[in-house]
Amino acid sequence: MLAKRIIPCLDVKDGKTVKGVNFVNFRHAGDPVEMAAMYSEAGADELVFLDITASHEGRKTFVDVVKRVAASTSIPFTVGGGIGELADVERLLNAGADKVSINSAALRNPQLINDIAKNFGSQVCVVAIDAQFENNEWICYLNGGRIPTERKLVEWAVEAQERGAGEILFTSMSHDGVKTGYPNEALAALHESLNIPVIASGGAGTMEHFKDAFLIGKADAALAASVFHFGEINIKELKEYLKNNNIPVR
């Protein structure tokens, strides 16, 4: 088993880190630059920085914040939100991002995945999928969970992989912020269908939830926000817990 990664997520709105429940009801969590530095020190393996209203508001990600976050951290760093063309990717990589996460833009223009992989390498391209379980299937959503599509989770993830995505970041909208555990059945289905890493997102509330995402959901990494932001789970203690449960961590 490869070492599992623990990834704090900084959801940024108006230059501030926020955290919501089911993609709404946001509360302020802190300054993203200070938090990035703190997580780098705390033993996080990577960071994800999402400008959560960029696509909905039709604007680009805050490059100045990306530069400041990159300067304050020594761990790999993925940026998403408002990325619609190769020039956006280039600008964010130049600002210090290691990878980019595309979601709505990939659903609207799947060729963007091919273009990023071809120009910058698959390792740079994370395809994020926000999906909701309804009528016995996982439906993919656009614009930060606002607009349902015809696409289904697994078939879209497989297409993204075929087009050159290096990782899938799957967020369950139904589980987001409610702290009842990750969507392990859906994660396991992705694991069975893909040969690229899957990052679990949405539902972390306890250390056991991380363990289950790795053992039951077969996730390669687990992303969380509020449990880290508000001090409910300490990353070093979490890694110790996982090691004690025979889950390799970095």
Catalytic residue annotation: 11, 130
Place of tokens 């490059």: 63
CA distance 32 to 48: 11
CA distance 96 to 198: 23
Q: Which two tokens stand for residue 12?
A: 């940024």
Place of tokens 């090691």: 243
Element (H, E) at 68: helix 63-72
CA distance 135 to 36: 38
Classify burial at 238, counting beta carbons within 10 Å of its beta carbon; exposed 0-12, middle 13-18, buried 19 or more.
buried
Report which DSSP code applies to 124: G
Q: Looking at the chain, which runs of residues are DSSP E strands?
A: 5-13, 16-21, 24-30, 47-51, 77-80, 99-102, 125-134, 137-142, 147-152, 167-172, 198-201, 221-224
